[in-house]
Amino acid sequence: MRTAVVLLPALAALGAYYVYLPLPGTMSEPWKLMLMDASFRAIQETCNLVHYLRLSHHLTVLNYVIGVLDKLESPSSELVKIQDTQFDGVEVRVFEPSKKEDKALRRSVVYIHGGGWALASARASSYNNLCKIMTESLKAVIVSIEYRLVPKVHFPEPFNDAFRAAKHFLQPDVLAKYSVDPGRIAISGDSAGGNLAAAVCQQLSRDTSVTNKPKLQALIYPVLQAFDFNTPSYRQNMNMPVLPRFVMIKFWIDYFNGNPDFAHSMVINNHTALDVSQAVPYKGHLNWSSLLPSVFKKNYKPVIQTTGKAEILREIPELLDIRASPLLAEKEILQLQPKTYILTCENDVLRDDGVMYAKRLENAGVEVTLDHFEDCFHGCMIFTVWPTDFSAGLRTRESYIKWLDQNL
Ligand SMILES: *[C@@H]1O[C@H](CO)[C@@H](O)[C@H](O)[C@H]1NC(C)=O
Ligand SMILES: *[C@@H]1O[C@H](CO)[C@@H](O)[C@H](O)[C@H]1NC(C)=O
């Protein structure tokens, strides 16, 4: 009994310590976010233990657990017809409005889901719901790409899958089959899916065999570069749920099947130090001193190492490949991009990736809408269903769909 009296408060204190995170005063629904984050961390740490014991890859286990928690499959509704098929050998889930309004051609969005190139699915209820709601509110055909995930495949395979499926869909006869207006197609995605969407858009814009180009791209808190992990947003939010800086760097390394030990060097930008010659040509593309407004720069100073570790880029040259880091593309490519929407959250390591891409596109003459949310966190747009429902999720989703409705 006496032991219990001592142990219970101790356990409660330990639990509170595990759950509690100092969050900025502007964050909406902070306690709910802390609880969700603590659960997510506990699951991730268990997966890391399984990985450490060499029982399975941590990302395989994590994706399995997420799949169990989030029931896959969700039947067509009265309003939306859902069909799983393949585009050029790549699995896709196509959502169509059930009512075909006469012979009118419909708008369309090619959607690429997020999850660090390793997690989630077009069939996960979160993404399935998002696409259903988009189909209903936009009366559009949504093509959600089921690209293959890390660790089963690595870069460039997820990119290649997304590109092949999008290119297949853009062919005139395929569009005709789905009654899609060739002039009203958007490419979109969130987080790692936003990374793939931006990279697919760049590749489509340069591919002369693609005659029908997308009208828009819409990127939700996209990952766009692996060059600088010390942007103001990476530093300000290094411990922010649901995506701390170190976790993002690990996702990058796993994307390339690189050595996980490099993460500690990449945190301090040792991979792009001044003495690493491969990185030099890109320095100007990613100069946040000139690309970010002062409200985002605050008092942060660039972290530029004089001497670093050249072996990282020697072993993982793909870190500078624009199909992985679209923010590093030349101006000649940027100016070919369609009208763009970028959604960013203040409490997100990736805020500045999005803000810098918006600025570089604008400098290249592209029309850009930057939709910034001061009280939101990374990944919020898919958290709309109990028990992980957030007002941040509903508000970002509404704003995103509204922009598509007005511009597509
Ligand atoms: C980055 O931009 C700042 C401010 O415009 C400028 O002073 C600096 O020389 C630039 N650095 C590089 C590497 O281009
Ligand atoms: C960064 O690189 C420098 C120079 O090679 C090295 O001395 C330092 O240990 C490295 N730091 C990390 C964390 O890798």
Q: Would you place residue 135 in the very low, low, confident or very high pLDDT band (cuts 50, 70, 90)?
A: very high
262 lines ligand 2 (CB under 6 A): no
pLDDT at 72 over 70: no
Ligand 1 centre and the CA of 304: distance in Å? 12
Which ligand does the CA of 273 lie closest to?
2
Protein residue with its CA nearest to atom 5 in ligand 2: 308
Burial of 404 (0-12, 13-18, 19+ CB in 10 A): buried
pLDDT at 51 over 80: yes
Residue 34 vs residues 83, 183, 221, 348, 394: alpha-carbon distances, Å? 37, 44, 20, 15, 18
Q: Which tens digit of pLDDT belongs to each residue from 289-323?
A: 999 999 999 999 999 999 999 999 999 999 999 99
pLDDT at 73 over 90: no
Domains of the chain: which residue ranges? Answer: 15-68, 79-408
Secondary structure (DSSP) of 338-372: PEEEEEEEEE-TTHHHHHHHHHHHHHTT--EEEEE
pLDDT at 398 over 90: yes
Q: Which tens digit of pLDDT belongs to each residue from 2-49?
A: 676 777 777 777 777 778 888 888 888 888 888 888 888 888 888 899
pLDDT at 68 over 90: no
Question: What pairs with residue 125 in β-bridges?
Answer: none
Ligand 2 centre and the CA of 317: distance in Å? 19
Catalytic hit among 126, 144, 191, 325: 191
Ligand 2 centre and the CA of 269: distance in Å? 10
54-80 average pLDDT score: 80
Residue of 246, 253, 262, 265 with the most ligand 2 atoms within 8 Å of its CB, for mutation: 265
SS3 79: coil
In this predicted structure, which of 62-76, 178-192, 339-353 has the lowest mean pLDDT?
62-76
Cα dihedral 391, 395, 398, 403, rounded to 10, equals: -160
268 lines ligand 2 (CB under 6 A): yes
Ligand 1 centre and the CA of 292: distance in Å? 12
286 within 8 A of 328, measured Cβ to Cβ? yes
Specify the ligand 1 atom closest to the Cα of 283.
Answer: 13
Q: What is the reported pLDDT for 386?
A: 81
pLDDT at 285 over 90: no
Q: Which tens digit of pLDDT belongs to each residue from 368-384?
A: 999 999 999 999 999 98
Residues with beta carbon inside 6 Å of ligand 1? 283-284, 287, 289-290
The rounded distance, in Å, linking the Cα atoms of 253 and 115 is 14
265 lines ligand 2 (CB under 6 A): yes
267 lines ligand 2 (CB under 6 A): no
Specify the ligand 2 atom closest to the Cα of 268.
Answer: 13
Q: What is the reported pLDDT for 327?
A: 97
Which ligand does the CA of 271 lie closest to?
2
Q: Would you place residue 226 in the very low, low, confident or very high pLDDT band (cuts 50, 70, 90)?
A: very high
Q: What is the reported pLDDT for 1?
A: 60
Q: What is the reported pLDDT for 334?
A: 98
52-63 average pLDDT score: 88
226 within 8 A of 253, measured Cβ to Cβ? no
In this predicted structure, which of 32-46, 264-278, 318-332, 349-363 has the lowest mean pLDDT?
32-46
In this predicted structure, which of 171-185, 232-246, 279-293 has the lowest mean pLDDT?
279-293
**Residue 378 annotated as catalytic:** yes
Residue of 289, 300, 305, 359 with the most ligand 1 atoms within 8 Å of its CB, for mutation: 289
85-107 average pLDDT score: 90
pLDDT at 357 over 80: yes
> 63 vs 398, which has greater pLDDT?
398
332-342 average pLDDT score: 98
Specify the ligand 2 atom closest to the Cα of 264.
Answer: 13
CATH class of the region 79-408: alpha beta
Specify the ligand 1 atom closest to the Cα of 287.
Answer: 1
18 Cβ neighbours under 8 A, 6+ residues apart: 38, 41, 42
Q: What is the reported pLDDT for 75?
A: 62
What is the chain's alpha carbon radius of gyration, rounded to the nearest angstrom? 21
> 115 vs 66, which has greater pLDDT?
115
80-86 average pLDDT score: 95
Q: What is the reported pLDDT for 63?
A: 87
Catalytic hit among 37, 348, 352, 353: 348
What is the reported pTM?
Answer: 0.94
Percentage, residues of the chain above pLDDT 90:
75
> In this structure, what token pair is assigned to residue 245?
């800086």
> 260 vs 1, which has greater pLDDT?
260
309 lines ligand 2 (CB under 6 A): yes
In this predicted structure, which of 56-70, 269-283, 342-356 has the lowest mean pLDDT?
56-70
Q: What is the reported pLDDT for 70?
A: 77
The rounded distance, in Å, linking the Cα atoms of 331 and 363 is 9
Residue of 266, 269, 309 with the most ligand 2 atoms within 8 Å of its CB, for mutation: 309
Q: What is the reported pLDDT for 17?
A: 77
Q: Where is 389: in which H helix or E strand?
A: strand 388-389
Phi, psi at 307, each rounded to 5°: -120, 140
> In this structure, what token pair is assigned to residue 10?
């101790």
**Residue 28 annotated as catalytic:** no
**Residue 191 annotated as catalytic:** yes
Percentage, residues of the chain above pLDDT 70:
97
> 358 vs 277, which has greater pLDDT?
358
